[in-house]
Structure 1
């Protein structure tokens, strides 16, 4: 129990001469510096609260208002219209002191009133969304005036959370509009009789139960900050009782072509340092607020609050997200052992070289895992109820609880993997697929899937991450990962012998094993082994395929006057039709962070216009090149319009979801809502945005291209597709499906995506056009 002795700051023994007090200077020094650092954070938070509380004004503007009021009083003019005199009557001071103090009170009240007025004006400006529908056309005078006013109010440098209270609330669409858009979205998927039946269900819902549910939802929208986000987090994520591994968690990859260092400990040192530097920026609110690309429009930053020091803990009916203000260590897993790595010493952040030194000590530690330690992480990979029961029975008190608390309170989780991954060797394509599977689930027990995110450092220096989904969406973790990769490669860097830069304090205490688990042998087998069996069965069923598409990128697509995202979505529809012989309900994630605490909305990208274009290709319809371009642009414009409507609060699925939740609270059933919410998303797609392109010099360093990330399939008989548009000439795709479904194959679908992109580009680039390209190797089975 050497670890327990090191945690004691002082020891004493009673002798005949009295009490012999033995102080540990090192422990007391750590306590002192930890306290100083904690107080600095508190002062910094208080300062930031004041700065963002008065935004878009500044604290110094108070002095300007005071001087202006005093100047007018000196000129024997009363700008308060008698209010200063009324305030003066209630102050028990001398005449001169009363005048000065009453002027200060009035100036402060006037200043606060001006701040509220400015914030109200900013909120009104941010509630205007017509600009989004004018981005690629003539700009109206209203939008021009709006841009000018917004730039004036946003001229002062904001903190990360400065815009939060000025963001508008998510509006509740009307029942009529939502149902109309829903029926339009399912029209290409239903036969005439099925569509007529669905229309009757929708009309019956609108005329009866719908309006009643809508009234409750509007009441919630008046009261709550966001009428969707809390229910979405609870019912879609936290109440799920199945494994979060594969089903919910997602992954992010390293650079595609390069690995900055092949030394595992060195890559861990720089990666951990970069993450902690990002955490410092978040805590100090030094990050620039995220904005809509190319504009000054801010996005909600609420998801950053729980990025670090956060863990999802299992419950019987629902999980809980626990967040701590700070943590001075990270939890590290290596070959079955859990370690606590302190990242601060005497109040300072360890240098990358010192963290590398500590990581190397962990790698060199020959001690075997304790009984029950090696596969403990499998509990986080299996079903949630067994994990809750194990936690309640064996981890609710004593040494087991203390050991578990150390993992869960860590800033984040780090796995030092003993495998090599990346695009290497004689089978680069297959290695990329194995790399993706490793990040998605690993060995099912060597990740802590409950942590907000876990970092994986491989033996050959490759890295990646696995993120828990309930606390935030992919763009937030992608922002963190972009900063980490850029800081690691371009800011921190490595020495010529591939080690981290900086000096090493050789007196740093050795990282110690942090777990002391006391479990009955039967419980270890029954609990951990059962969860591991469930997790391994799920992991073995996942078919991952990752491939970079290099033939062209957004540069050539833009020349066609088509949105790159719409081009890819239309290509996915063509690929799916060739693969499965029909269309399907398609999910594309869109953000709603233009609103406070906004998360995502669904873009139903299988539209009438898209299907018309795909059918034209599939059926080999004779048409001119100009006709083909017209159909593609109609499909692209339709998709862009759906995307803009989703971003501006006029989506379909979140509204219907919340109406369904209200119906459950009221104890009433709706056949329409029940059918809508049970429809499977056989094609689930998402684009990973590049938000900080200024961090990567792709022109001078073209090899430093991120692969992006991916996720598991949403439906058992469907595909999950994630893509990232990198620079002007490259698109990276991540495709997932399940081996257990005989109708899906990730590699086959990847080949269809590749062919669809090429066929559409060839079709649109051809000058004279007499016929469309052939279908390709996969013939359609049926047509809906």
Structure 2
């Protein structure tokens, strides 16, 4: 093999004249450059640890403290109030012998200065943590900022004036608080009131009161004890019990997808799009490793969000187990794994410590596309093992992939930076049926053929035959905003930074001596092939049942909504309530994902968007009430939704607290009828907004066609809908709706039409009111921008 031959750095033979040593200087040079790159990364990581370890101070501030102390001593003043003398007395005897009296004094002053500097850092970090624990600013009305908040803003700006690294704020972020159990139960009763009849609500109230007076306070004490000990009292249990312990397929049920630009495909060449996409992802990884990415913040503010989810973005795989899966993360891999027409390849993206140019990666990808060798027996559908049930995959993995050639090839997939599929289909909004093609594009990214993706990888990139791309992400390691941040960077870097030549190829030079991508070898037994077919049958049944509908809403966007002084998110969520009511004739428990990344290791919380206020507005509008009354009820519903969202963000949500109480009850071996009923309630309407986080990367005004489609996910309930939406620019909202064909009561296209009509109907009602532009309260984002 050519790559094996080139890996040999030297050869020697023993002759009668002695040892004949032959060195390959090219190979030795590559070893040297690769080692140099490794050491540079180590030095960079050590430097970053020091910088973020002393934040919000700087390493150079130590020198300032030392000079200040020495200057005051030179002025014959003792700033330490006798501590320097005491330190000098306790110096080791060897230093007393080897150093003069003046040297001992100088050394003692340096020790005191360092201790003083460290104390100041701890004090600054404690102050920053206190400031970041203040959340009242979020609840203040637009245009009415309290003096307390103004002082808080000033102090926060002062402490955040230094340019931070990606993880600089981590140790200063507050811990997620445990809400009072009485408050959580009260809010839960309020959230289910519009869903229950009077007798049902009375029964739930009685069940709640029994839980609070008996078992609830006992469970709460254990939970508070965990909160004192753990960094975050929710996240580890959420990751384990919601994601990793699930034994059902993660395809469709857990994994989600992200799409390419809506109107533009930068190049029609599959290999070229792969070259730029892979390069952009690796450039993001380089910035991530060097911590050069700016910390994510609450939009329009200087308030940082937790960056812990970024740590496992690359080189990460979810490995199956009999009872629970495990997330495995490795140090940087210098290769990606590529799947094409049933074959797996290892594609090295570094050579001699140098990242290959986009043109070189395109050249290597084209070699894979031109390779006509057939798949090995059982290789083509091997990926179906990751799409089926977890227990069969775990058992097959232990029995047939724990040694030999299969283990080496599986390691190449699992340790890769990420997974790449070169799909042989064309996708995107194209042809005579653009809407239908968008739906097929979504289904392709969500599950593909059920065997041509590696669903266990932290994320997989799909490059289609016509140059369209997309990704499929595993959910347990991070939530959608983290992946969306990566994908925004990738699309923008691909289109605006790396670019293409006039004939659609990547830019850069090509070293044609690059070794060919390596085929991964397998020894797949008949038992493995049988299990792969069985997993594929399960996955196909699940995939065929998914009904996806993707549509851009162009009638208006957030620009027109904000002119009414209404939160765009509240507007959309209330519209979804109206659409569901018209579609199903009632209300349901609604899940809207909110972040808790204001806290260390925070992930998500649930906003129960179906409230008494939103249901009152929906009934009034659909019942033909007067427009003035409908407008009044809408404003109440909008304000209620915003308040629910703020409470979820600041740790006062309902569902994560109840979930953790349930976990504690299971550890204690006690049954709670209340918790069992609450946690078994189906989320028939599950919603999520994909945030646009890096607007500076996209020049929408000059490049209006470069609009992101966002992404989506499968339905949470068998008889419900999954709705994802992204607010792009001022005039466009993209929706992704999913449901199941097997449920006769749901239809994604029908629900999509209801969403369109609901948005338009509410806009008509609000725009009739001449006072609407001044009577409603503002949303979080306008308030945040005014403050910070």
TM-score strictly above 0.5: yes
Identify the residue that residue 695 of structure 1 maps to in structure 2.
697
Identify the residue that residue 498 of structure 2 maps to in structure 1.
492
Post-superposition shift, 1:231? 0.3
Post-superposition Cα deviations, 1:119-155, rounded to whole Å, max 9, x if no partner, equal 0000000000001112624000000000000000000
Any idea what SS the aligned residue of 1:747 has?
A: helix
Post-superposition shift, 1:90? 2.2
Identify the residue that residue 529 of structure 2 maps to in structure 1.
525
Q: Give the Cα–Cα distance (whole angstroms) in 1 for the partners of residues 326 and 601 of structure 2.
A: 18
Post-superposition shift, 1:237? 0.4
For residues 615-694 of structure 1, the aligned pairs below 5 Å read: 615-621=619-625, 623=626, 625-694=627-696
Matched, 1:370 2:372: no
Equivalent residues of 2:457, 2:474 under 8 A apart: yes
Identify the residue that residue 464 of structure 1 maps to in structure 2.
470
Q: Give the Cα–Cα distance (whole angstroms) in 1 for the partners of residues 11 and 256 of structure 2.
A: 47
Q: Give the Cα–Cα distance (whole angstroms) in 2 for the partners of residues 536 and 604 of structure 1.
A: 33
Runs of 5+ unmatched residues, structure 1: 770-784
Q: Give the Cα–Cα distance (whole angstroms) in 2 for the partners of residues 716 and 21 of structure 1.
A: 69
Identify the residue that residue 709 of structure 2 maps to in structure 1.
707
For residues 265-664 of structure 1, the aligned pairs below 5 Å read: 265-513=271-519, 515-521=520-526, 523-621=527-625, 623=626, 625-664=627-666
Equivalent residues of 2:396, 2:528 under 8 A apart: no
| Count of aligned pairs between the two proteins | 765
Post-superposition shift, 1:516? 1.6
Q: Give the Cα–Cα distance (whole angstroms) in 2 for the partners of residues 315 and 32 of structure 1.
A: 40
Identify the residue that residue 780 of structure 1 maps to in structure 2.
none
Q: Give the Cα–Cα distance (whole angstroms) in 1 for the partners of residues 203 and 572 of structure 2.
A: 32
Post-superposition Cα deviations, 1:549-570, rounded to whole Å, max 9, x if no partner, equal 0000011111222110000000
Any idea what SS the aligned residue of 1:464 has?
A: strand
Identify the residue that residue 777 of structure 2 maps to in structure 1.
none
Identify the residue that residue 74 of structure 1 maps to in structure 2.
74
Matched, 1:142 2:148: yes
Identify the residue that residue 784 of structure 2 maps to in structure 1.
none
Post-superposition shift, 1:204? 0.5
Matched, 1:248 2:250: no
Q: Give the Cα–Cα distance (whole angstroms) in 1 for the partners of residues 455 and 13 of structure 2.
A: 45
Q: Give the Cα–Cα distance (whole angstroms) in 1 for the partners of residues 26 and 376 of structure 2.
A: 28
Identify the residue that residue 775 of structure 1 maps to in structure 2.
none
Post-superposition shift, 1:765? 1.4
Taking a change above 3 Å as real, the CA distance of residues 11 and 244 of structure 1, as seen in their structure-2 partners, is farther
For residues 729-748 of structure 1, the aligned pairs below 5 Å read: 729-748=731-750
Identify the residue that residue 32 of structure 2 maps to in structure 1.
32
Taking a change above 3 Å as real, the CA distance of residues 90 and 221 of structure 1, as seen in their structure-2 partners, is same
Any idea what SS the aligned residue of 1:392 has?
A: helix
| More displaced 10-residue stretch of structure 1: 13-22 or 503-512 | 13-22
Q: Give the Cα–Cα distance (whole angstroms) in 1 for the partners of residues 26 and 647 of structure 2.
A: 59
Any idea what SS the aligned residue of 1:316 has?
A: coil
Equivalent residues of 2:2, 2:515 under 8 A apart: no
Q: Give the Cα–Cα distance (whole angstroms) in 1 for the partners of residues 550 and 11 of structure 2.
A: 57
Taking a change above 3 Å as real, the CA distance of residues 11 and 367 of structure 1, as seen in their structure-2 partners, is farther
Q: Give the Cα–Cα distance (whole angstroms) in 1 for the partners of residues 7 and 539 of structure 2.
A: 36
| More displaced 10-residue stretch of structure 1: 498-507 or 52-61 | 498-507
Taking a change above 3 Å as real, the CA distance of residues 9 and 314 of structure 1, as seen in their structure-2 partners, is farther
Post-superposition shift, 1:32? 2.7
| More displaced 10-residue stretch of structure 1: 374-383 or 3-12 | 3-12
Correspondent of 1:117 among 102, 123, 128 = 123
Q: Give the Cα–Cα distance (whole angstroms) in 1 for the partners of residues 199 and 556 of structure 2.
A: 42
Identify the residue that residue 773 of structure 1 maps to in structure 2.
none
Matched, 1:101 2:107: yes
Q: Give the Cα–Cα distance (whole angstroms) in 1 for the partners of residues 88 and 436 of structure 2.
A: 81
Any idea what SS the aligned residue of 1:117 has?
A: helix
Any idea what SS the aligned residue of 1:547 has?
A: strand
Any idea what SS the aligned residue of 1:736 has?
A: strand
Post-superposition shift, 1:512? 1.6
Equivalent residues of 2:379, 2:524 under 8 A apart: no
Q: Give the Cα–Cα distance (whole angstroms) in 1 for the partners of residues 207 and 522 of structure 2.
A: 56
Any idea what SS the aligned residue of 2:444 has?
A: helix
Taking structure 1 as the reference length, the TM-score comes to 0.96
Q: Give the Cα–Cα distance (whole angstroms) in 2 for the partners of residues 155 and 444 of structure 1.
A: 49
Any idea what SS the aligned residue of 1:49 has?
A: helix
Post-superposition shift, 1:57? 0.3
Post-superposition Cα deviations, 1:78-132, rounded to whole Å, max 9, x if no partner, equal 0100000111112323101011100100000000000000000000000000011
Any idea what SS the aligned residue of 1:710 has?
A: strand
Matched, 1:218 2:224: yes
Any idea what SS the aligned residue of 1:421 has?
A: coil
Q: Give the Cα–Cα distance (whole angstroms) in 1 for the partners of residues 23 and 656 of structure 2.
A: 59
Post-superposition shift, 1:26? 4.8
Q: Give the Cα–Cα distance (whole angstroms) in 2 for the partners of residues 155 and 666 of structure 1.
A: 47
Any idea what SS the aligned residue of 1:385 has?
A: helix
For residues 153-302 of structure 1, the aligned pairs below 5 Å read: 153-302=159-308
Identify the residue that residue 45 of structure 2 maps to in structure 1.
45
Q: Give the Cα–Cα distance (whole angstroms) in 2 for the partners of residues 610 and 684 of structure 1.
A: 16
Any idea what SS the aligned residue of 2:129 has?
A: helix
Q: Give the Cα–Cα distance (whole angstroms) in 2 for the partners of residues 74 and 213 of structure 1.
A: 61
Correspondent of 2:729 among 716, 723, 727 = 727
Post-superposition Cα deviations, 1:669-719, rounded to whole Å, max 9, x if no partner, equal 000000000000000000000000111111111100000000000000000
Q: Give the Cα–Cα distance (whole angstroms) in 1 for the partners of residues 208 and 44 of structure 2.
A: 53
Post-superposition shift, 1:316? 0.5
Q: Give the Cα–Cα distance (whole angstroms) in 2 for the partners of residues 572 and 536 of structure 1.
A: 30
